[in-house]
Amino acid sequence: MCGIFGIVADREQQLGPILIEAGQRLSYRGYDSVGCATLRDDGTIDLRKDVGKVDEVAARLRLSEMVGRRGIIQLRWATFGAPSRVNAQPHLDSDGDLVGAHNGNVVNNVELRQQFMAEGMTVRSTNDGESCVHAVERYVDRGYDMVEAIRRAYRDLEGDYAFVIGRVGEDRLYAIKKGSGLVAGLADGATCVSSDLPSILPLTRRILRVQDGEIVILWADRVELRRVEDGSPVEREVEEVTESMEVAEKGGYPHFMLKEIHEQPQVAGELLHLLEASPHVTPMVERMAAARHLYLVGCGTSYHACLLGAIYLARLAGRPAVPILAPQFIAQYGPAVGPRDVGVFVSQSGETKDVLNAVEVAQRQGMEVLGLVNVLGSTLMNESEHYLPLVCGYEISVPATKTFTNQAVAFLFLALRMGGHSTTDLAHLPEMLEETLAAVEPQVSALESALADRDDLYCLGYGLTYPIALEGALKLKEITYAHCEGMLSTEFKHGPLSAVEEGYPVLFVVGPEDVPLLVSGINETTTRGGRAIAIGEEDSRLRANAHDLIVLPPAGPLFNPLLAVLPLQLLAYRLSLSRGYDPDFPRNLSKTLTVD
């Protein structure tokens, strides 16, 4: 989830300090490299960029000294092209008279790069931000003005992105939005555009929120919006922002966890766009299908995604896979695996020590290592023979939410492809996630007071919802500090049922295929005085037998688990607040566990 900021001033000045501060205020989004460009009145572009954090790159490259009338800074979160100076943004066009940067993912980047090189353009990197610049260059070179060139480039660039671009000899910047965030600001003597509000608020609180399919043209004294469809002007009132800086960083949400829960529809859509166009999917599927034994290896939340992935692979591709916790993989399978075996290793950070230990053992045995990872340039990415990026952006809150969803979506996509099924229906998933969040939030809030003082509860699931029950229990433990045990519903009667007494809460995550079986479990709880809370699609049997029903939109068995995790995330969040804890930073835990 990169961050971009551009500014147009009414006179040439030292823009470096303004750009650095904007970058610092976007750094919460997560990044691996930084770059600045200024366009000077003498017709030159000063471009400086490198891998590293804002402060260290600023000191090393003396970014504060950069002068110009227009300037751009970009913080890059790598998806296309590993973190490096050449892949850092902004990027120049072939002749060095256009400069631009983007936020998002251009999923046909590989094909576009091949086209640009065939057309004689100078392509310096493997980064899709450079493809945005060349896509505009292509039409500028054919004689189109900048607005028309951007309109035509928009049709060539597939994916979700926003980008800003400037041209030597002009007095303006241009930006366009297609899926990724973009907001413009109007200050005294300057205008600016950014991925997010925090970088704009120190300069002005007068903003325009840019919509998808709109081009922004920024002069020092005004901002103009045009529709990409036909170039016609867009009229929109300037808005006065009242949020504090902290609220702005959280997108108006009180905590990063809630913000990241609500980002899940967007990041799932971005991942699906990438997977549909990715050349890495086919080799991943081929190696997984050809494996003697296939292992899905992770820890914590990532392990729960592996467990769900194993069920998807069995159902959709007839391919058995062994989901296994990374440390247990070493003891249980490490001595027996070999070159004909394949492991898919899953990690949000790509630096989880337990996972990397398992990778080391697998490689020593000659086993092929594949990766699902959110951080490009991480150790897991570098050790994987093939990998898929999860494109979730930076996840600040310690409890994983959007990374779990995209791990599960990636496994579902791979299973469909391996089984020869269409992935077309997955296009509806982001909308269904959005609908589910809207539907379940009030239902979860209604349960908050009944569960807030409970220190013990169970979360049960079966089949496809078993991994969701484990994940829901983990979230409740992480941030409420209550003991919640996730369990296969059919195992509950083999001992744990003895804990149930009057009012004891038991959560049941119910897939549409499994209602009769779960109704039996619900009654084992209610006949002993327990409170049964079902999470599932509307069903008269659940209504009749459970005390409470959190209703999910109808989605079918494959999508149901991806929707069912949302109310559990929200329930954990609400109960954490009720109990007086900070859900973003639970005690004793770290986002990335780099110790044994």
**Alpha carbon distance 116, 83 (integer Å):** 22
Q: Is 177 a catalytic residue?
A: no
How many angstroms separate the Cα of 537 from the Cα of each of 512, 524, 550?
7, 21, 8
Active-site option among 2, 36, 306, 392: 2
Active-site option among 49, 259, 493, 591: 591
Phi-psi label, residue 251: left if phi above 0, alpha if psi -120 to 50, beta otherwise: left
Residue 367 near residue 343, CB atoms below 8 Å: yes
Peptide bond into 90 cis (omega under 30): yes
Strands 98-106, 456-461: pairing is unpaired
**Burial call 312-345: b when 16+ CB within 10 Å, e when fewer:** bbeebbebebbbbbbbebbeebbeebeeebbbbb
Cα 375–Cα 377–Cα 380 angle in degrees, nearest 5: 75
Residue 479 near residue 258, CB atoms below 8 Å: no
Q: Is 306 a catalytic residue?
A: no
Query: What does the CA dihedral 252, 88, 189, 211 come to, rounded to 10 degrees?
Result: -50
Question: What backbone phi and psi angles, to 5 degrees, belong to 192?
Answer: -150, 165
**Alpha carbon distance 497, 494 (integer Å):** 7
Q: Specify the long-range contacts of residues 224-227, CB closer than 8 Å, at least 24 apart.
A: 226/147
Nearest to 564 by CA among 449, 452, 447, 404: 404
What is the amino acid identity at position 113? R
Catalytic residues: 2, 591
